Amino acid sequence: MSRPNAQSMKPATAAKKLDVYLPATPAEFQANPITRSELETLQADPPQWLKDLRKSGPHPKNLVAAKLGVSIAGLARGGITEALTTEQITALLDDKPDWLVAERESYQSVLREERRLKAVRAEKAREG
């Protein structure tokens, strides 16, 4: 079994690092390993296809969740299982369906609790 080149990565990894939805990338990008230098070039001087994807999508679920202010699990509970475009995200934010309002409140509650627990741990670390 040969070891993959440590200086290249799978297209899925590169897409994740670029914050783009892999199936929406060009076929050439999806078919070939990406070297670290190619990734750096894409980040420093993105081609038009990458600029377009970042601007209008479709966006991967992690970005959709972040733009909507919910967790990825919250997306699934709301019935969102596919990547969304910027236009679709904006429409959801404008319409504010009940599930989105509830998931945003729930997510903010979880974040508040995480901050509280972090502060408690930090206080205990200072004391002990």
Write down the pLDDT at residue 88: 97
Q: Provide mean pLDDT across the span 4-32.
A: 90
Residue 52 sits in the same domain as residue 9: yes
Write down the pLDDT at residue 7: 85
Please give the residue range of the domain that contains residue 23.
Answer: 1-56
Dihedral angle of Cα 13, 18, 23, 27, to the nearest 10 degrees: -90
Residue 43 sits in the same domain as residue 67: no
If you average pLDDT over every residue of the chain, what do you get? Answer: 92
Q: Which of 14, 41, 56 is the last residue of a domain?
A: 56
Question: Which tens digit of pLDDT belongs to each residue from 52-93?
Answer: 999 999 999 999 999 999 999 999 999 999 999 999 999 999
Q: Say what the pTM is.
A: 0.79
Q: Which of 30, 56, 82 is the last residue of a domain?
A: 56
5 pLDDT more than 60: no
Domain total in the chain: 2
11 pLDDT more than 90: yes
Q: Which of 17, 35, 56 is the last residue of a domain?
A: 56
